[in-house]
Amino acid sequence: MKHGYVKAAAMSPKIRVADPKYNAGEIIRQAERAAAQGACVIVFPELCMTGYSCGDLFEQELLLREAKEQLFVIAEKTAGLNAVIFAGLPLDYMGSLYNTAAVVCKGNILGIVPKVFLPNYAEFYEARYFSRGMKKTVPVTLRAGVTVPMGTDQLFVCETMPALRIAAEICEDVWAPSPPSIGHALAGANLIVNLSASDEVTGKDRYRRSLITGQSARLLCGYVYANASDGESTQDVVYAGQSMIAENGVLLKEAPRFANEPAISEIDVEKLNAERRRMSTFEPAGLQDYTVTNFSLEMLDTGLTRFVDPAPFVPGNKKDRDSRCEEILSIQAMGLKKRLEHTGCGHAVVGISGGLDSTLALLVTVRAFDLLGLPRSQIHAVTMPGFGTTDRTYENAVQLIETLGAAFEEISIREAVGMHFADIGHDPTVQDVTYENSQARERTQILMDLANKCNGMVIGTGDLSELALGWATYNGDHMSMYGVNASVPKTLVRHLVRYFADTCGSKVLSEVLFDILDTPVSPELLPPKEGEISQKTEDLVGPYELHDFFLYYILRFGFVPEKIYRLAETAFAQNYDSGTILKWLKTFYRRFFSQQFKRSCLPDGPKVGSVAVSPRGDLRMPSDADVRIWMDEAEKLSVNAG
171 is catalytic: yes
- The C-alpha atoms of residue 611 and residue 472 are separated, in whole angstroms, by 19
- Three-state secondary structure along 395-458? HHHHHHHHHHCCEEEECCCHHHHHHHHHHHCCCCCCCCHHHHHHHHHHHHHHHHHHHHHHCEEE
Number of helical (H) and strand (E) elements in the chain, helices listed first: 19, 22
Distance between CA 176 and CA 208 in Å, rounded? 13
Query: What is the spatial distance between Cα 591 and Cα 546, in angstroms, rounded to a whole number?
Result: 14
Among 7, 68, 106, 115, the one annotated catalytic: 115
Letter for the amino acid at 253? K
Query: Is 115 a catalytic site residue?
Result: yes
Q: What share of the chain is helix, strand, coil (3-state, %, to 5)?
A: 45, 20, 40
- Of 170, 174, 233, 173, the C-alpha closest to 200 is 233
CA distance 312 to 357: 20
CA atoms of 85 and 255, how far apart (whole Å): 19
In terms of Cα–Cα distance, which of 62, 99, 289, 271 is closest to 186? 289
What is the rounded CA–CA span in Å between residue 624 and residue 594?
Answer: 7
Q: Which of 48, 105, 171, 325 is catalytic?
A: 171
109 phi and psi angles, rounded to 5 deg: -95, 115
Q: What span, in angstroms and rounded, lies between the C-alpha atoms of 46 and 58?
A: 14
Element (H, E) at 508: helix 507-517
Q: Which of 26, 46, 126, 436 is catalytic?
A: 46
Which residues of 161-301 form beta strands (DSSP E)?
A: 165-170, 191-196, 222-227, 244-247, 250-254, 263-268, 291-295
Clarify whether 69 is annotated catalytic.
Answer: no
Separation CA 476–CA 384 (nearest Å): 13
Sign of the dihedral through C-alpha 619, 622, 628, 629: negative
Dihedral, CA of residue 331, residue 334, residue 339 and residue 340, to nearest 10: 140
Q: Could you say which DSSP state residue 52 is in? A: G
Element (H, E) at 25: helix 20-36
Rounded CA-CA distance 394/406 in Å is 16
Residues 91 and 98 sit within 8 Å (Cβ to Cβ): yes
Burial class (CB in 10 A: 0-12, 13-18, 19+), 88: buried
Q: Going by C-beta distance under 8 Å and a sequence separation of 6 or more, which residues neighbour residue 483? A: 459, 460, 461, 462, 602, 603, 604, 605
The pair phi, psi for residue 510, each rounded to 5°, is -60, -40
DSSP assigned state of 220: T
Q: Are 421 and 438 in contact (CB under 8 A)?
A: yes
Provide the 3-class DSSP secondary structure of residue 573: coil
The dihedral through the CA atoms of 226, 232, 237, 241 has a sign that is positive
Catalytic residues: 46, 115, 171
